[in-house]
Amino acid sequence: MFNKYDVFSVLETAKKFLKFKELPDYKSDAEVLLSFLLQIKRSRFPFVYNQILSFNQLCQFEKYILRRAKREPVAYIIGHAGFMEFEFKVDKNVLIPRPETEFLVETVLNLAKKETNLKILDLCTGSGCIAISLAKMGTFKTIIATDINKSALKLAKENAKINGVKSIKFIESDIFANLQQNKFDVIVSNPPYVTQKEYLTLEKDLMYEPKLALIAKDDALFFYREIAENAKKFLNNTGYVVLELNPNKVAQIKQMFIDNNFKEIEIIKDYLSLPRVFKAKIFV
């Protein structure tokens, strides 16, 4: 792939190749992968343009670029992703944290400004990015994070350790199954919410991410229904649910929670003006 071996030439060749493969972010993809390989910040590239890559470095970088050309996400290739102000280890057992989900964390943090010592439950925690970000950025009495996937929980625990968080209790649980009589002030979740039909239309990159964390049965409403019908058993009086939304199912989701005695419903839009976060308060 490479005819010249200095950083500048290698980087330009990689960008042209990814552009030819119709990668929309070909420039940043190539730079992120090479900066990861060289263990330098992208801002340092102008200072090392003349540096010659070793044969092993060239081979490894070519492998990275070929993987990306097949639409494997950069985060899986380098093994980590940024979320909020922190870095999280990721692999194919968990979804890659996305900027849209930061609205979920910010909504819970705003609740914590009004009330102190809140008890938080993070359902379907995946990489743990929501629970860990809350632990790092807020002051909460309790944070419990659950997932049905043992491999995801193992990774979430590792991310907690990497980010210096010791306060989260991780529980293997199918939604509420293993929570016993715990009561919380806030239940937060980014649950699976893609229909099988929607899944077939997703970008190729998303095909690398775990289907278990993406697709939900019952026309993608399964987890919303489970939370709407069972959350009151695990919420303190006037507790909240804060959920990431399927933008195409807002009306159905809202009605589910109305039918289960939730009030003060608020739909929060993301930076693309799509309905992204659902917040509601239970009255028992």
Query: Which of 1-10, 142-151, 203-212 comes out lowest in average pLDDT?
Result: 1-10
pLDDT computed for residue 135 by the predictor: 96
Closest CA relative to residue 160, chosen from 144, 176, 139, 183: 144
The answer to whether the CB of 166 falls within 8 A of the CB of 143 is: no
CA 100 from centre of chain: 9
- pLDDT of 7-22, one tens digit each? 999 999 999 999 999 9
Q: Please report, as a single letter, which amino acid is at residue 108.
A: V
CA 205/CA 220 separation, integer angstroms:
20
Mean pLDDT of 248-277: 94
pLDDT computed for residue 180 by the predictor: 82
Is residue 45 very low, low, confident or very high in pLDDT (cuts 50, 70, 90)? very high
Mean pLDDT of 127-152: 96
- pLDDT of 186-244, one tens digit each? 999 999 999 999 999 999 999 999 999 999 999 899 999 999 999 999 999 889 999 99
Q: What is the mean pLDDT of the chain?
A: 95
Q: pTM of the entire structure?
A: 0.93
Closest CA relative to residue 23, chosen from 204, 201, 202, 199: 204
- pLDDT of residue 116 exceeding 90, the answer is no
Report the first-to-last Cα separation within the chain, whole angstroms: 65
Is residue 181 very low, low, confident or very high in pLDDT (cuts 50, 70, 90)? confident
Q: Edge-to-edge strands of the sheet including 168-172?
A: 168-172, 142-147, 119-123, 184-189, 235-244, 275-282, 262-269
- Residue 207, Cβ density class (10 Å: 0-12 exposed, 13-18 middle, ≥19 buried): middle
- pLDDT of residue 2 exceeding 80, the answer is no
- Residue 36, Cβ density class (10 Å: 0-12 exposed, 13-18 middle, ≥19 buried): middle
* pLDDT above 90: percentage of residues in the chain: 91
- pLDDT of 57-90, one tens digit each? 999 999 999 999 999 999 999 999 999 999 999 9
Q: Which fold has domain 94-282?
A: Rossmann fold (3.40.50)
Is residue 103 very low, low, confident or very high in pLDDT (cuts 50, 70, 90)? very high
pLDDT computed for residue 207 by the predictor: 93
CA 39 from centre of chain: 24
Is residue 283 very low, low, confident or very high in pLDDT (cuts 50, 70, 90)? confident
Burial 215-240 (b: 16+ CB within 10 A, else e): bbeeebbbbbbbbbeebbebbeeebb
> Which residues touch 269 (CB under 8 Å, ≥6 apart)?
275, 276
CA 10/CA 182 separation, integer angstroms:
55
Closest CA relative to residue 174, chosen from 129, 124, 126, 127: 124
Mean pLDDT of 245-251: 93
- For the chain, which residues make up each domain, given as ranges? 7-70, 94-282
Closest CA relative to residue 210, chosen from 152, 159, 170: 152
Closest CA relative to residue 187, chosen from 283, 266, 108, 101: 108
